[in-house]
Amino acid sequence: MGTRPSTRTDHDVEVPMRDGTVLRAVVTRPLVDEPVPVVLLRSPYPLADARFEVDLLGLAERGLALVMVSLRGTGASDGVFYPWRDDERDGVDTIAWCAAQEWADGRVATLGRSYVAQTQLYAAGGAPPALRAMVTGVVPSDPWALTYTGGALNLGSAMGWAVGMAGVPLARRAEAGEDVSRLQQEWGALAGGLPAGFATTPLTDVPVLDELFPAWRDWLDHPQLDEYWQQHALPDRPAIPTFVVAGWHDVFRDLSLREFAREPRHPGSRLVVGPWSHGAAGRSLGAVDHGASAPGYAIGLDAQLLDFLAAHLASDDVPVPDAPVQVFVTGANVWTQHATWPPPADEVELHLHPGSLAAGPAPAGTPPSRYVFDPRDPVPTLGGNTLLPQGEGAGMCGSVDQRPLDGRADVLRFVGEPLTAPLRIIGTVRLTLHAATSAADTDWTAKLVDVHPDGTALNLVDGVLRASRRDPAHPELLTPDEPHELVVELGAVGHELVVGHRLRLDVSSSNFPRFDRNPGTGAPPATVAEADVVVAHQQVLHDAAHPSRLSLPVVPA
C-alpha cells in the first residue's frame, strides 16, 4: 500500500444511459499521472450517506477511484425508480462509462451492501467486459426470495423498505413544486405509525403506497412465483471474483450464502459470515456479547475487502485461497476456516416426540401434539434475522431470550436432553413436518433454540412455510385435517451448544410482524380483512408412520 495521493471530487457528474436518461454521480479520484482502476457503487439511497460506508482513505492509498452513482429516479438522477427493472441495463452502461473515462485504466470493480449489492448482481448478468470483481455485503439476491420466505410475505422488511422508498418520489415531487401536502400527511402517518401499520388489513388498503411506490401493490398481487417475479429475476452471470459478507442474523443471510455458492463460482471468491445483523459488524447483538474477536475490525474486514478489490483490479491472476470461507461460530465464539460453503457435515436427525426430541421416531399410536392458532393473536417476533423499524435495540434482532413467549398455548416446544458433549452445527437446518390443519391454508413456523441451564432460551435460527406455497410456482390449498408431509427450511446457522445446554425446537403458525399472518381462508392473505380470518386447529403428527424430524448439519467441535 502506497502513501495517500491527493484526490479530486466532482459532484453531479453526468452519466448518460443508452435510452437518454442521465444519471448523476460523485467521482473521487487520485490526482496521479497514470490512469487508475475504478470502484463503482450504485445506490438508491443518498450518496452522502453512502460515503460513510466506504473507506475513502483506503481506496486512495490503493490508487483506486470511487464513482458513486444515484440509480435512476433517485438522488440527482433523472428517470423513475422501480425496484430491479433497470438495474442490469443501467449497470452495464455505467460500468462502460467508468471504463471509458480518460483518467481510468479500463478496469472496474463494484462495491456495496444490501440493495447496492444486489445492483452488482444485475450488472454482472450483462457480462460487462470491464468488470473484474465485486464486493457484496448482506446481499438480497433474487427479488422473489427476498420478498417471500417459504411463501410467506417478509412483511416487516418489505413494508418497511417500501415506506422508506416511497419518501423518495414524495420529496422529488415537492422539490418540483407540486402540492404534496396530502401525501406528506398520509406518508408521515404511515411511516410514524410503524410497527402498528403492519397490522393493517387488508394489506392492500394502503393508498399512499399505491400512489408513491406502486411496486408494493405489485408484490402483494403476486404472492406466488409467477411471471412478474420471473421478469425481475436475477440474470445468470459469468464467474466473477466476488467477496461476500454475510451475517448470521441478517434478514438476507441465506440469500447471501446462496449467491456465494451460485454456479458458476469463481475459484477466487471469498465468504465471511459473522455474528452480525443487517447493520454494523459489531461485537454484541440481541442478548449476546460474542466477544472481542467478533467485530469486523477484529479480523481487519475493511482491509480484506479493499485488498481483494485492489488485487483483482491489478491482475487477472490472483492466487486462489485454500480456505476462502471464514465463519464465526457463536456459542464457542471462534472464527473457523473452510474450503467450501457449506462445509462437510454429518446430517444428524432428531425426531419429534410429545414435548421432546430423540434419536429415533416415536412409537406407533403416539397421539399428535395440538394447538389452536388465531391469526388475530399471532406469535410476536422476538429476535431472529430480522430487519424491522423497531431496530436492533428493541429485542427484534439477534439471539434474544424466548421466555416471554412461554405462556403461549399456540407454541409447541420439543426439548432435547442436556448435552454431555459440545454440539457444533454449521449449515442449513431443516424440519420435516407431518402436520394437519382444519383451515384451507396455514403457516408452519419452526425455531431452533439453545436452552441454558439457568433457563435462558436463545433463538438460533428460524423459518416458515406457507403450506399452500409448498411448491411456490403451483399453489395448492390443503384438504382440512388431512396430514401432509412438509419441509420447513429454518436456514443456515453456525453455533456450538456447550455441555449442559439443551436443544429445543419451537413450532407454531406465526412470527409477526416478521412475516404476514395467514388468515386461513385460502384467499390471498393481503386481501383478507381481520374480521374474515379463520381460527385454525393444528396437529403435529409424530409417530412411526409420521416421523416428523429435525435435520442438523453437525461438524466436529
- pLDDT for residue 393: 58
- Indicate the fold that domain 145-230 takes in CATH: alpha-amino acid ester hydrolase ( Helical cap domain) (1.10.3020)
Which residue ranges does the chain devote to CATH 1.10.3020.10? 145-230
Three state DSSP letters for 39-84: EEEEECCCHHHHHHHCCHHHHHHCCCEEEEEECCCCCCCCCCCCCC
* Backbone phi and psi for residue 480, each to the nearest 5 degrees, phi listed first: -50, 135
Go through the chain and tell me how many residues it has. Answer: 557
Terminal alpha carbon distance of the chain: 38
- Here the cell at position 461 is 435460527
Cα four-point dihedral sign 159, 237, 471, 443: negative
- pLDDT for residue 392: 61
- Indicate the fold that domain 346-554 takes in CATH: Jelly Rolls (2.60.120)
Which residue ranges does the chain devote to CATH 2.60.120.260? 346-554
DSSP assignment string, 305-364: HHHHHHHHHH-S-PPPPS--EEEEEBTTTEEEEESSSSPP-EEEEEEEETTEEESSPPPT
Helix axis angle, 155-175 to 181-193, nearest 10°: 160
- The reported pTM is 0.97
- pLDDT for residue 395: 62
Tens of pLDDT, residue by residue over 41-92, are 999 999 998 877 888 889 999 999 999 999 999 999 999 999 999 999 999 9
- pLDDT for residue 209: 97
- Here the cell at position 59 is 481506496
- pLDDT for residue 52: 77
Which residue ranges does the chain devote to CATH 3.40.50.1820? 7-141+236-338
- pLDDT for residue 50: 82
- Here the cell at position 372 is 389452536
> Per-residue b/e over 473-485, b at no fewer than 16 CB within 10 Å?
eebeebeeeebee
Cβ–Cβ under 8 Å, residues 428 and 113 = no
Residues lower than pLDDT 70 in the chain: 1-2, 391-395
- Indicate the fold that domain 7-141+236-338 takes in CATH: Rossmann fold (3.40.50)
